[in-house]
Structure 1
């Protein structure tokens, strides 16, 4: 495996991130079956506005795994202050994706370990994530990293 570095995403990384986020049936079903290349101007504007908001927010980090200049993985880290657990911060890891041709090579594990290191650097005492119930491979992956399925999550489309 070539050297993979983890860094904050730039505007130039957004197309590759969008490709990663829609690279499976579960994700495509959430996006109405479309691909990033086939989005309307309204959706395109919303995506760019979301990137700008994430990029400007010191409590959010959009991360890419960069392998020799190519984006091969991504995740978003959100740092949230909390009154629970003695007032410590927690980190939520979302939108974890590794390019299909790089899976099974340690990129995802390295990205998760790097992300947990970021949480510790920022003083977080808890890392949390959710994953779709249909992603059984992801469940095994997160369990192997030490995450425990401690809560039942709920979502509602608005």
Structure 2
């Protein structure tokens, strides 16, 4: 397994993971819009953001280091709380539907927490949709606590 920052070449596979968490979506069928391109470029250019992937490590015909099996985004947030330490915000956690149950999600999260710790973060936080009860059990098994109630306000363009 290889855990690394995503490249532009990984974008179709990442969007495939985000498109449907209950089935495997072929990255070749993913439509990459201008907004996706802008968002990925912004993440890639921002030292406080990382789109990370876990791959099987097998070299592909195009020279890529394997099939993307999981992904997540880490955003480092400065703040005055936590004695001025940064916190890491975890978003967009996904593991391919056909590869779940083998510990890949736990490994992905372990590596992300290790990365945040190495950066000096004092806290790792995430939100999860209330309907994703299996994901909640997963995060609790990893030591995450339901310490806060989350709120969101969707803004119309």
TM-score (norm 2): 0.87
Show the counterpart of 2:46.
Answer: 57
Q: Which residue of 2 aligns with 1:85?
A: 82
Give ranges in structure 1 of 5+ residues lacking alignment.
26-34
1:151 and 2:145 matched: no
Q: Is the 8 A contact 1:15 1:36 kept in 2?
A: yes
CA contact (8 A) 1:55 1:61 kept: yes
1:32-61 CA distances to partner (integer Å, 9 max, x unpaired)?
Answer: xxx99475xxx7001000000000000001
Per-residue Cα deviation, 1:56-88 (whole angstroms, up to 9, x for no partner): 000001000111200010000001111011111
Say yes or no: does 1:111 pair with 2:108.
Answer: yes
Q: Which has the higher helix share?
A: 1
Runs of 4+ in 1 over 4 A off after TM superposition: 35-39
2:89 matched to 1:95?
no
Residue deviations 1:95-148, cap 9 Å, x none?
Answer: 000000110001100000000000111000100000000000000000000000
Q: For 1:138 and 1:70, how far apart are their aligned partners in 2?
A: 23
SS of equivalent to 2:115 = helix
1:120 is matched with 117
In 1, Cα distance between the equivalents of 2:39 and 2:19?
Answer: 16
User: How high is the TM-score relative to the length of structure 1?
Assistant: 0.86
How many pairs were matched up?
143
Runs of 5+ in structure 2 lacking a partner? 59-65
